[in-house]
């Protein structure tokens, strides 16, 4: 009688443990929507990052391509912060801009350098590639760089310095966008489109 009771108790205990493990596994592996892979901190704890926290050495996957983050520029305008990452795949360079809007949104901008001459103060309307862009917002931010940024004329920003940048954001039809930046006496133009953050996958490099 005692043996039967002992066996029954063990079955209940191990059955409950198996249920907890199975439930935990489903919570971790099933339909969570986490597309980034886990990295670890210096003390070995798991660190889950998204493209909102791009770092040099990360891999950003978009459609069928894997882009290496070779450099980042972190902007700060009176406490509002956003990031631009320089992405490289087989010599193809793009800039991913995350968090530029002050309101919460999952929209990011995938852009590339556009050869547009700017003379004088930027206008309210610009035309590039057959698309008309209207000025949506503008401002001035400080910026810190990491890695290889090649921001203007193949020259990167000194990572040990704080830089100042004036910026203008233009919007076109169909999610197209154009961003103009002024670094000292030099301008650079980024042209591309708005995409959903969920379209990207991040593999943290560290």
pLDDT, tens digit, for every residue of 106-148?
889 999 999 998 888 999 999 998 999 999 999 999 999 999 9
How far apart are alpha carbons 186 and 151 in whole angstroms?
10
Banded model confidence at residue 47, pLDDT cuts 50, 70, 90: low
Domain boundaries, the chain: 46-203
pTM of this structure: 0.76
Question: What pLDDT is recorded for position 26?
Answer: 33
CB neighbours (10 Å) of residue 97? 22
Residue 60 sits at the vertex; the CA angle it makes with 134 and 193, to the nearest 5 degrees, is 15
User: For strand 65-77 and strand 59-62, is the pairing parallel, antiparallel, or unpaired?
Assistant: antiparallel
How far apart are alpha carbons 144 and 59 in whole angstroms?
21
Count of residues making up the chain: 206
pLDDT, tens digit, for every residue of 53-97?
999 999 999 999 999 999 999 999 999 999 999 999 999 999 999
Question: What pLDDT is recorded for position 105?
Answer: 76
Query: What average pLDDT is seen over the chain?
Result: 82
């Amino acid at each position: 009688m005692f043996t039967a009771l002992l066996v029954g108790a063990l079955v209940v205990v191990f059955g409950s443990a198996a249920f907890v493990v199975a439930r935990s596994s489903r919570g971790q592996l099933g339909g969570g929507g986490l597309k980034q892979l886990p990295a670890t901190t210096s003390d070995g704890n798991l660190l889950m990052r998204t493209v909102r926290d791009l770092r040099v050495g990360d891999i950003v996957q978009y459609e069928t391509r894997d882009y290496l983050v070779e450099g980042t520029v972190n902007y700060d305008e009176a406490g509002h912060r956003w990031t631009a990452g320089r992405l490289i795949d087989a010599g193809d360079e793009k800039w991913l801009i995350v968090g530029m809007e002050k309101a919460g949104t999952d929209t990011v901008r995938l852009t590339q350098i556009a050869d547009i001459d700017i003379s004088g103060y930027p206008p309210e309307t610009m035309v590039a590639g057959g698309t008309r862009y209207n000025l949506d917002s503008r401002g001035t931010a400080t910026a810190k760089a990491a890695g290889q940024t090649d921001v203007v004329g193949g020259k990167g920003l000194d990572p040990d310095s704080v830089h100042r940048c004036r910026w203008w954001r233009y919007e076109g039809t169909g999610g197209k966008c154009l961003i103009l930046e002024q670094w000292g006496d030099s301008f650079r133009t980024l042209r591309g489109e708005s995409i959903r953050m969920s379209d990207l996958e991040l593999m943290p490099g560290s």
